[in-house]
Amino acid sequence: MSTINVNVVTPDGAIYEGDVEMVSARSQSGELGILPGHVPLVAPLSVGAVRLKYESRINLVSVSGGFIEVRPDSVTILAEAAENPSEIDVERAQRAKERAEDRLDRATQEDIDFKRAQLALKRASTRLDVAGR
């Protein structure tokens, strides 16, 4: 089975490096499924879980926006923040989720605060999903 080399990098350093058979990531224009030999592209990423498949195992990494650069033999994800499941503080994510839900209850849909809270909720929910809660 051919593989593609993946790096997930944040301002704090490298989060993941490895050879995988397939990468799935959510770009701002939709879900990307990347196999070895994919055409080169650069795309902005949404907040979401990146799925890394190798020998029928799937590793998840939570990614909070950034960019993905695809080349035929490599994928680089430059993320604003990213965590492996073991790095996620579940209680912190739960608190962030509750805070965001509170703000969404109080803000009106046109508010900047509403949009910020929606993104914060998405980050927290993604972290909880990736941590398996």
Binding positions for ligand ATP, rule: CB under 6 A? 12, 64, 81, 83, 87-89, 92-93, 96, 120, 123, 127
* Beta carbon of residue 118, minimum distance to ligand ATP (angstroms, whole number): 12
Kindly tell me which of 36 and 125 has the beta carbon lying closer to ligand ATP.
Answer: 125
* Beta carbon of residue 3, minimum distance to ligand ATP (angstroms, whole number): 27
Kindly tell me which of 20 and 47 has the beta carbon lying closer to ligand ATP.
Answer: 47
CA distances from 28 to 50, 92, 123 (A): 13, 26, 15
Kindly tell me which of 34 and 93 has the beta carbon lying closer to ligand ATP.
Answer: 93
CA distances from 103 to 64, 75, 90, 111, 124 (A): 19, 36, 20, 11, 14
* Beta carbon of residue 95, minimum distance to ligand ATP (angstroms, whole number): 7
Q: Name the token pair of 41.
A: 């592209």
Angstrom distance (rounded) from CA 41 to CA 94: 35
CA distances from 41 to 34, 77, 124 (A): 11, 12, 28
Angstrom distance (rounded) from CA 90 to CA 3: 32
Kindly tell me which of 70 and 120 has the beta carbon lying closer to ligand ATP.
Answer: 120
* Beta carbon of residue 121, minimum distance to ligand ATP (angstroms, whole number): 9
